[in-house]
Amino acid sequence: MLLLSLAAEAACPVQRTNAELREALDEVDRTWGVDPAAFEAAIATERAMLPCMGRVVDTTLAARLHRAEGLAAFLARDLDTARRAFAAARAADEAITLPPEMAPEGGPLREAWSALPAVSYDQKLTRAEVGVGVYTDGVWRHDGRYGGGDLAPLDRPFVAQRLRDTEIVAWTVYAQSPADLPVLETEPQARAAWAWWASGGTAIAGGALLGAAYAADANYRQSTDIPTADQQREVVNGLAAASAGLGTLALGFGVVAVAGSF
């Protein structure tokens, strides 16, 4: 369990900045329509960077992320996903455009860009059935805007971020729908809380077994015949071994708890 938890946290060894994300999106724009292989590489870079964001992605960057995903979907001939992403871009930031050099007037890309209406963000927020009470607490951002964790657009993608406070980001997800959102139990704090309880419980149980082993040892020392002594000795050894095992498990849970608290 400790190795799994550390491996999950090691997936993002370096937190990425908005400036780095902006540079990655600039590369997406530069390579679009010029070099398909370079464009796909730029999209891959942006997608790998997004989960490691250390700060809030503002509305402008969120809109550019949607535009980039729309271009990638259009290149893959997935027009439905492209249209939804483009609508999300215009809903996140009404000032965003698709420059003529990227999409000539009258072309299929220009048509996909404006195919779906760009309604206001607040009107599109609605309750998302993603679990019982999972997204009802904490500080959240959707496409750079504050919002309750149980609110999300149901008909278009969005950039979801859960915050540890007003600035520090716990995780970032580009979600095609609310079903793509992770559950809170995967967060370090939730795992740490669970591990603290598990560590305390197993430590108490181990202590109880150790006490029982001492009591059994007293009976062993008072044995008056060999068969009884052998039987009592087996009880003592079994209880001591079980107590040691629970003590080791409690220590492991404690390490997980400490690691998950930071």
Q: What is the pLDDT of residues 137-170, one digit of tens each?
A: 567 788 888 765 556 677 789 998 888 766 678 8
Domain end marker among 186, 220, 238: 186
**What's the mean per-residue pLDDT of the chain?**
77
Shared domain for 249 and 180, answered yes or no, is: no
User: Over 60: is that where the pLDDT of 6 sits?
Assistant: no
Single out the residue of 217, 251, 212, 215 nearest to residue 232, CA to CA.
217
pLDDT in tens, 37-46: 999 999 999 9
Kindly tell me if the per-residue pLDDT of 36 is higher than 70: yes
Residue 90's domain spans which residues? 2-186
pLDDT at position 132: 34
Q: Which comes out higher in pLDDT, residue 9 or 57?
A: 57
Best mean pLDDT range from 57-71, 114-128, 174-188: 57-71
Query: Among 186, 217, 252, where does a domain finish?
Result: 186
Same domain, 51 and 173: yes
Domain boundary (159, 186, 213) is at 186
The answer to whether residues 178 and 198 belong to one domain is no
The structural domain count of the chain equals: 2
